[in-house]
Amino acid sequence: MLALTGFAAGWHRGVPAVQDVDLELAEGRVLAVLGRNGAGKTTLVKGVLGLAPWRSGIVRLDGRRIDGWRPERIARAGIGFVPQGRGVFPGLTVEENLRLGALGSGRRRPEPALLARFPHLFERRDRPAEALSGGEQRQLSILRALAGRPRFLLLDEPSEGVQPTIVEAVAALLLELVEVDRLGILLVEQDLDLVLRVAHECLVLEDGRPVDWFSAAELAARPQRVEHYLGL
């Protein structure tokens, strides 16, 4: 279980960029974090990872406090990160990106079966990441995070600027990771279709604070509830 209590992080115009966040993410669950541009979604994720400055509150991983830990220690404790944007080393090959993902999390090497999840990346394993399409780079970024064999995965807008076929492949992978591997996933997203496919619960951030909280079933029944938060 990854749990946040009264969590605040980052800095924006004299106040924390995200604050008052209480949430629990269990293994085998997907929690979506929604909110328009500048709402504080990235700051929340980076704050949990120790990459954005901690302001207040508590972060617990399986009951153990991890707030204040260095990012590399948090990664080794089992929390993986797929950053916003392409999130790969462009000049390194597909395979080298995966090796670094494993090393960065204290593993010797990635699981050999990892690349089998995306056969077109396996075929291009000796090519530099920059030779891949934007969507393939996003997939590689997810595999790189998985190379550290995390138990919790934090993804920052994986669908942003990516073609629908890639979003579909990402959705299928996330469902497999949750249902088969029992990962807990925190999914920052603005794409409601992806959220509806994979999430169990949703939290909405506005101006850095949680303003609404609902189940995926409630979202499916009444998507208008969230559309105005996203400016749709």
Is residue 39 close enough to count as binding ligand ATP by CB under 6 A?
yes
Is residue 40 close enough to count as binding ligand ATP by CB under 6 A?
yes
- What is the end-to-end Cα distance of the chain in Å, rounded? 33
CA–CA separation, 218 vs 213, rounded Å? 10
**Nearer Cβ to Mg ion (2/18):** 18
Is residue 165 close enough to count as binding ligand ATP by CB under 6 A?
no
Contact segment (CB under 6 A) with ligand ATP among 9-17, 128-136, 166-174, 210-218 equals 9-17
Contact segment (CB under 6 A) with ligand ATP among 39-47, 71-79, 98-106, 195-203 equals 39-47
Q: What is the dihedral of CA 24, 15, 45, 160, to 10 degrees?
A: 120
Is residue 19 close enough to count as binding ligand ATP by CB under 6 A?
no
Q: What is the dihedral of CA 185, 82, 170, 129, to 10 degrees?
A: -160
Is residue 17 close enough to count as binding ligand ATP by CB under 6 A?
yes
**Nearer Cβ to ligand ATP (51/100):** 51
Half-sphere exposure of 29 (CA within 13 A, CB side): 15
Q: What is the CA radius of gyration of the chain?
A: 17
User: Which residues sit at the interface with Mg ion, rule CB under 5 A?
Assistant: 41-42, 84
